[in-house]
Structure 1
Amino acid sequence: MLNNLDLNLLKVFVAVYRHKSITLAAEEMGMTQPGVSGLLKRLQQQVGSQLFVRSGRGIAPTHHAQELIRHIEPALIQINNALESLDGFSTENPRKFVIYTSEPVMLMLLPKIEADTTLGNVTIELQPTHSNEDNLLHGLNQHQADLAIEFADYSTSTFFSEPLFEDKICIIARKDHPRVSTQLTIEQFYSEKHITLKLRREDAYLADYFTEESLHDRKVAAECTSLVSQMSMVSTSDCIATMTESIAKRFAEKLEIQVLPTPFTDIPIRYRLMAHNRERKSPSNMWLREKLRSYFANE
């Protein structure tokens, strides 16, 4: 069987297994659906077992497919990494990386990427991270992104994560605020009106999520999903807001806002690089992770 085996059959099998769809596998591989179906049929004939069965509107792997993927996918990853390692990763070759991340990291990262003169023919595209954890993991699993930058640690048997940098929360108010200056007491924190920011995936306010104490209800004037709109509203009102310190300091002078320490015990925001285990020893992904670490080395 090995003498007659075409590695392209295995690549098609892995793509179909991941997507549980011949249509999506065909799109990923730039092939037609009949082409993928034909190659899959050839593989089933060679292994002598049915690999997929109809399930609802899609297909489901059989027990034989589950056993085959367990052995085949790690082997294909090793082959791919070995081929990459022959010449090493080079920025002379065109390559596009996609990174899932949040708005604060985008605001910090984009200027660093644009200022980097060593990227060569490599491009790095930033995309908003998914609001749903399952969709995030699915996107990484389906090669829709090379890695994600997250503050939650999703290390599992399938995914791994590495530390990147730390941030923390702060309080912002406009520079000419009539009552707030230099520092803020806990009494002032509750007496002022707030522009709040809600973390969609965690379904919690930023201030509550990164605080050791349990905060009481605040006087909410407006709720935002964007740090930029939050800062803009604070700069033109007497409201205060809780946000990430790194971004607040970057825009403080331009928006004429003051950055104050929190009057409570905040928890550090620990950002991490996260990727699928198949990328752990990939030369290209290793290069990307090291490049991102260099961007945040002084944060």
Structure 2
Amino acid sequence: MSNEIPNLNLLTVFAAVIEQGSLSKAAEHLSTNQSTISTSLGRLKAKIGQELFVRSGRGVVQTAYASSLYSQIKNPIQELNTVFQDLGTFDVDSSERRFVMTAPEHLQSSLLNLFSDQKYKKISLEVFDQPEDDEKVYDGLLTQKFDVMVDIFPPNHPNIESVKLFDGDFVIVCRQNHPRINGQITESQYLAETHAVLERTRDKKRSLAHHTNFDISQRKVAYHGRSMFSNLLLCSQSDYITVVPLSMALQFKTHLKLQLFTPPFEYKKISNYLLWLKKFNQEPSHKWFREALIEASQERLSK
């Protein structure tokens, strides 16, 4: 084992493989190829004289030594990244920047409208729908496909930072002129009707199950939609009922001729968190973008 400090680039590659979970994702993250990543890991292994990763199936698993090494170098590497990011400049009036994010369906329109405002002439926003796979929920952040994401849960990843934007209500929705529901809905009515539900789950539970202890398994479900809007549209043309965030229901209440009801059972509000990589905490344009979203959440998104 050499007593010399390994090349910083080798340590950066090593840290990326740990954080991304695979050589291929680390290569994408660092804008290089898998062969370069493998070569760098080989050089680092030779330098320190220790095995860092072992093959497991189609991927690699870090050794105990690698875990220990990473725990000691991750903060210094993040601090160095911050130093170089702070050297950058960003001016909202003159700098051109396109931000990319993923967000829940009920916030997408408000977010896009925020950055279509002529106030930000050289700033634009691209919004993606949320991933459907729980196991890949953070992949877009970790590979830097997205600058930020909005999620209903705080993150459980050591390299991701978060802040709560706001808590929002949800409502039960049905069409006007519904044959059995008019002006109010009771708990027994809610269970007696036929439902359109969101097919997407988080932590193997449907969205509503995260926000109430009421036994929703008793519901009669007729339609499993992949979007809340498709559920709203179906309910506007049928006798089905559905549940959506209040902000989304208000967007379409008039156009789709909907009735909105506060749930007749106990429930918790929907929390919305802004998530980003810790390494971008002090990067000027990224910091401005986050602050703009936080400000917007107070002014528009929480309405």
Q: Which residue identity is paired with 1:18?
A: E
Segments of 4+ in structure 1 off by > 6 A? 1-4
RMSD: 3.1
State the partner residue of 2:290: 289
State the partner residue of 2:271: 270
Whether the aligned pair in 2 keeps the contact of 1:167 and 1:245 (CA below 8 Å) is yes
**Stretches of structure 1 lacking an aligned partner (at least 5 in a row):** none
Using the TM superposition, give the Cα deviation of residue 124 of structure 1 relative to its aligned residue in structure 2, in angstroms.
3.1
State the partner residue of 1:151: 152
State the partner residue of 1:189: 190
CA distance in 2, matches of 1:257, 1:247: 12
Whether the aligned pair in 1 keeps the contact of 2:231 and 2:242 (CA below 8 Å) is yes
State the partner residue of 1:52: 53
CA distance in 2, matches of 1:150, 1:28: 22
State the partner residue of 1:71: 72
State the partner residue of 2:104: 102
Tell me the matched-pair count. 298
1:63-97 CA-partner distances (Å, limit 9, x unpaired): 44333322333222212212222344444445444
**Stretches of structure 2 lacking an aligned partner (at least 5 in a row):** none
Equivalent residues in 2 for 1:109-258 (5 A)?
A: 109-115=111-117, 117-118=119-120, 120=122, 122-155=123-156, 157-215=158-216, 217-258=218-259
Whether the aligned pair in 2 keeps the contact of 1:23 and 1:33 (CA below 8 Å) is yes
CA distance in 1, matches of 2:86, 2:251: 39
Distance 1:34 1:257, change over 3 A: closer
CA distance in 1, matches of 2:59, 2:157: 27
Using the TM superposition, give the Cα deviation of residue 51 of structure 1 relative to its aligned residue in structure 2, in angstroms.
3.2
Q: Which residue identity is paired with 1:118?
A: Y
Distance 1:115 1:182, change over 3 A: farther
Q: State the SS of the aligned residue for 1:296.
A: helix
Moved more, 30-39 or 72-81: 30-39
Distance 1:259 1:2, change over 3 A: farther
Using the TM superposition, give the Cα deviation of residue 171 of structure 1 relative to its aligned residue in structure 2, in angstroms.
1.8
Using the TM superposition, give the Cα deviation of residue 4 of structure 1 relative to its aligned residue in structure 2, in angstroms.
8.2
Using the TM superposition, give the Cα deviation of residue 207 of structure 1 relative to its aligned residue in structure 2, in angstroms.
4.3
- State the TM-score, normalizing by the size of structure 1: 0.82
Whether the aligned pair in 2 keeps the contact of 1:98 and 1:126 (CA below 8 Å) is yes
Whether the aligned pair in 1 keeps the contact of 2:23 and 2:34 (CA below 8 Å) is yes
Q: State the SS of the aligned residue for 2:177.
A: coil
Provide the identity percentage: 28
Q: State the SS of the aligned residue for 1:264.
A: coil
Whether the aligned pair in 2 keeps the contact of 1:198 and 1:204 (CA below 8 Å) is no
CA distance in 1, matches of 2:297, 2:164: 11
Distance 1:173 1:124, change over 3 A: same
Using the TM superposition, give the Cα deviation of residue 246 of structure 1 relative to its aligned residue in structure 2, in angstroms.
0.8
Whether the aligned pair in 1 keeps the contact of 2:88 and 2:284 (CA below 8 Å) is no
1:137-174 CA-partner distances (Å, limit 9, x unpaired): 34433434333211123356544321102211112222
Q: State the SS of the aligned residue for 2:78.
A: helix
Q: State the SS of the aligned residue for 2:172.
A: strand
CA distance in 1, matches of 2:235, 2:192: 16
CA distance in 1, matches of 2:59, 2:194: 51
